[in-house]
Structure 1
Amino acid sequence: MGPLPRTLELFYDVLSPYSWLAFEVLCRYKNIWNVSLQLRPTLIAGIMKDSGNQPPALLPRKALYVKNDVRLLGQYLQVPIHLPKDFFFVIFEKGSLTAMRFLTIVKLEHPELLEKVSRELWMRVWSRDEDITEPQSILAAAEKAGMSTGRARELLERVSTPQVKNQLKETTDAACKYGRPGASYRTPLAALCL
């Protein structure tokens, strides 16, 4: 019998391409690396606000770097990642609040589906340039991940409850206590070292 797995928490937001890359690497190798992966849906906007960090897309040199970095990392890691056509609208206008609240309630009530639903939301926004804010979009992602339509609707109706809001805030606050300037701020392999 080998050593017990080490626990690794991944604080993530589906609005972050670096979070997706870290997520895929960690999910892919968690058994090989003997890691107990704890997925922690978090609101990147809350982390940015707490840290005083600006999104890289607002800084021209960082924006260009991130665009190329994400493309190259996606190729290298074999993650089908592509920037949305209307990047600023998707990131800054639409955001991810409802999607992250939905993932929060999925974690609370169906943790066995959290990985699949998270991946489907990332696929929608970062691979297929589809919406993740409208109820039908979130339902489509949940259904594709294997959740029944009825159950997905029940969960979606509860995303604005105090329980879900408070849990997402608590998780975001926990990420902030680690001193994070963003969600999976560095490349996936570097995220393991933080």
Structure 2
Amino acid sequence: MAGGGGRKVVELFFDVLSPYTWLGFEVLCRYRSIWNIDVKLRPGFLSGIIHATGSLSAMRFVTAIDMAHPEFVESVSRELWKRIWSTDEDITQPESLLSAAQKAGLPSEEAQKMLKMISSPEVKNRLRDSTEEALNYGAFGMPAIVAHVKGTPHLFFGCDRFELLAHLLGEKWLGPLPPVKAKSHM
């Protein structure tokens, strides 16, 4: 898509609900004359995009695992993230969910049981309740981190708030890859 006079056009699809989009909006507006581009602002609906690209089956699968085998929630979740964000693979089809569970070490027969559970009212209700709980804390996106300190919940949104979280907890932020503490050999 080219703009008038040979200028390049950059489209920004946005929803004012997204703080990350606001950052992109401001940067593009600042750079439009520096980069000699036409910025075409395209209002969109974030929830519609999320719904259309859906992680519902994956999150129901993880919820079922949490209900029956909570010790596998971390590893299965990590495998699903790797599939979608590292290897650009599907996370919506049953085979994809089973593959992630297998790589996480969940026995095949148990993964099959979890897959069957994703359409159960118990799993649907548990995922809905968890989502509503996040909304009740004030979440407007994810990641939503709620720290409970002295009986008071504190909401942090985004993956760039760990320094603030550390301060609230009275801890020191050591960056995204902190040194591993040596285990004592007693």
Alignment RMSD? 3.1
Matched with 1:157 is: 116
Higher strand share: 2
Contact kept? 1:103, 1:118, Cα under 8 Å: yes
Q: Say which SS state the counterpart of residue 129 (structure 1) adopts.
A: coil
Matched with 1:107 is: 66
2:131 aligned partner, one-letter code: T
Q: Aligned pair in 2 of structure 1 residues 109, 175: CA closer, same or farther (>3 Å)?
A: same
Q: Which runs of 5+ in 1 are unaligned?
A: 1-51, 66-89
Q: Aligned pair in 2 of structure 1 residues 171, 62: CA closer, same or farther (>3 Å)?
A: farther
2:17 aligned partner, one-letter code: Q
Indicate which of 121, 126, 130 corresponds to 2:85: 126
Matched with 1:167 is: 126
Q: Say which SS state the counterpart of residue 139 (structure 1) adopts.
A: helix
Matched with 1:189 is: 162
Superposed counterparts of 1:1-194, under 5 Å: 54-55=17-18, 61=24, 91=50, 93-184=52-143, 185-186=157-158, 187-189=160-162, 192=165
Q: Which runs of 5+ in 2 are unaligned?
A: 1-14, 29-48, 144-156, 170-186
Q: Aligned pair in 2 of structure 1 residues 60, 191: CA closer, same or farther (>3 Å)?
A: closer
Higher helix share: 1
Q: Aligned pair in 2 of structure 1 residues 62, 123: CA closer, same or farther (>3 Å)?
A: farther
- Tell me how far 1:183 sits from its aligned partner: 1.0
CA distance in 2, matches of 1:99, 1:122: 10
Contact kept? 1:120, 1:141, Cα under 8 Å: yes
1:137 aligned partner, one-letter code: S
* TM-score, normalization by structure 2: 0.56
CA distance in 1, matches of 2:19, 2:114: 33
- Tell me how far 1:178 sits from its aligned partner: 0.7
Q: Aligned pair in 2 of structure 1 residues 56, 153: CA closer, same or farther (>3 Å)?
A: farther
Contact kept? 2:16, 2:22, Cα under 8 Å: no
- Tell me how far 1:54 sits from its aligned partner: 3.3
* Amino-acid identity (%): 43
2:24 aligned partner, one-letter code: R
- Tell me how far 1:94 sits from its aligned partner: 2.6
Contact kept? 2:72, 2:106, Cα under 8 Å: yes
CA distance in 1, matches of 2:164, 2:81: 18
Contact kept? 1:56, 1:63, Cα under 8 Å: no
* TM-score, normalization by structure 1: 0.54
Q: Aligned pair in 2 of structure 1 residues 179, 162: CA closer, same or farther (>3 Å)?
A: same
